[in-house]
Structure 1
Amino acid sequence: MPAEPRGTGQAEDYRRAGFGAELGPGERPALLVVDLVRAYLDPDCPLYAGVEPIVGRTARLAAEARRLGHPVVFTYVSFRTAADGGQFFRKVPSLRFFLEGSPFAAPPPELAPEPGDLTVTKQYPSAFFGTSLASTLVALRVDSVVVTGVSTSGCVRASALDALCHGLRPTVVTDAVGDRAPAPHEAALFDLGAKYADLADTAAVLDAWKARA
């Protein structure tokens, strides 16, 4: 069971109610890097979230996944016009920084996709909604996804939840996801660990991969 958000006092209640069982890592994982782009890393962008520490950890996971032959998937938000984002764009006007041509929509150099990596373009929070990602992972015989990126309470949470709904085992990497503020980050991790995903830090994921190599 994950650490509870500060001040809630609910962790033991969740345990007694039967939440927080472990799904396990699966036999054929894929690494899913959600929306980790300059918008969240560049102080010149209003979406800046101060999540620079997760870049190196995610890059380390990507390098090891490639070495072991695990698929690496990068997701990017992109809109030709505001209409592409529908009500989501209306609700979050700062999504304008993901209009085609925006420099803030590009990944940092450490996370540029390499030959053989997969990319998914999306317009909504989940990496699965309105995309071919589920079909691609099924074709690759993937049974689990290791989720990194931003934001924990938004697109990471939505993608992990939809992974579960598509029959995959999601693991959210607790020190390789980030959010704008600690409270939504902690609350999202607590909720994910209770209901929808396993939680593990970078070192634990790498150890699990090596043990199965």
Structure 2
Amino acid sequence: MAPAAAAAAAADKWGNTAMLVIDMQRDFVDPAMGSPALLAAGESVMPAVTEAVAVARERGMFIIWVVREHDPLGRDIELFRRRFYGGGGGGGGNHGPVVKGSKGAELTDGLAVEQGDYKLVKTRFSAFFATHLDSVLKTSRVNSLVIVGIQTPNCIRQTAFDAVALDYEKVTVIVDATAAATPEIHLSNIRDMKNIGVETPTLEEWRR
């Protein structure tokens, strides 16, 4: 197939699909930050997440960077995490994870918002909870989602479950471009999502 024809075919196939890249921020994946919210396995999936984003760009998919950015006093964070912030009796100022404007809230090395992408800030696990994500997707005529990032039992799972509840036609979680605290936790949550119709390919399977 000629390059122009191949590009047109890819645009037709993937034009209604968005990739959600969830919480790939320094405080969550970079051990050098010393963050209490670090997910040790986050660094290990960085190559797969980076490659998945590159493939999504080649296919002309809409890329949405889903991030957390919190108030320095923790007034918009879940109660169980508020102790890490100035308003919760611990830490203080920018010591809390992913405080808005801090280095820890930045996307980790190798990932960047580019022209045509969209950045969405959330303050809870699901990317749909108290955000305008559903509106942005519907306005963009998106009916299928591909999810990568961290971590599987929290932000990945709740976003996927909400997408299913909102009747997105196809929800995919790339199994080796997502991670949890342990492989056992990761795989058990992948199984739960698969049981409600979420597709769970490896990156190699998805990119074919």
| Band of TM-score, shorter chain | 0.7 to 0.9
Find the partner of 2:43 among 26, 40, 52: 52
Question: Is it true that 1:38 corresponds to 2:26 in the alignment?
Answer: yes
What residue number does 1:77 align with? Answer: 68
Q: Secondary structure at the match of 1:131?
A: coil
1:169-192 C-alpha deviation (Å, 9 max, x unpaired): 211100000112223212211111
Which one-letter code corresponds to 1:69 in the other structure? G
1:165 aligns with 2:165: yes
Amino acid at match of 2:112: A
Q: Which moved more, 1:129-138 or 1:56-65?
A: 56-65
How far off its partner does 1:196 sit?
4.6
Q: How does 1:71-150 map to 2 (within 5 A)?
A: 71-80=62-71, 81-85=73-77, 88=78, 90-93=79-82, 94=84, 96-150=96-150
Aligned position for 1:154: 154
CA contact (8 A) 1:30 1:142 kept: yes
Tell me which amino acid in the other structure corresponds to 1:46: P
Aligned to 2:93: none
The CA deviation at 1:202 is 0.6
Partner of 1:82, secondary structure, is: coil
The residue number in structure 1 matching 2:203 is 202
Aligned residue for 1:33, secondary structure, equals strand
Once the two structures are superposed, residues 10-34 of structure 1 have per-residue CA deviations (whole angstroms, 9 ceiling, x without a partner) of xxxxxxxxxxxxxxx9872111101
Distance 1:57 1:199 in 2: 14
SS at match of 2:116: coil
Give the TM-score normalised by structure 1. 0.78
Contact 2:173-2:199 within 8 A present in 1 as well = yes
Higher RCO (C-alpha 8 Å, min separation 6): 1
With normalisation by structure 2, the TM-score equals 0.80
CA deviation map 1:38-89 (0-9, x unaligned): 122222222222222311211112122122211001111112242222xx2x
Question: SS in structure 2 opposite 1:126?
Answer: coil
Distance 2:57 2:122 in 1: 23
Deviations for 1:74-113, whole angstroms, at most 9, x for unmatched residues?
111112242222xx2x112457312223322211131111
SS at match of 2:149: strand
Moved over 3 A (4+): none
Measured on the aligned residues, the alpha-carbon RMSD in Å equals 1.9
Aligned partners of 1:29, 1:101: CA distance in 2, in Å? 30
Structure 2 gap ranges (5+):
1-12, 86-95
Query: Is the partner of 1:158 in helix, strand or coil?
Result: helix
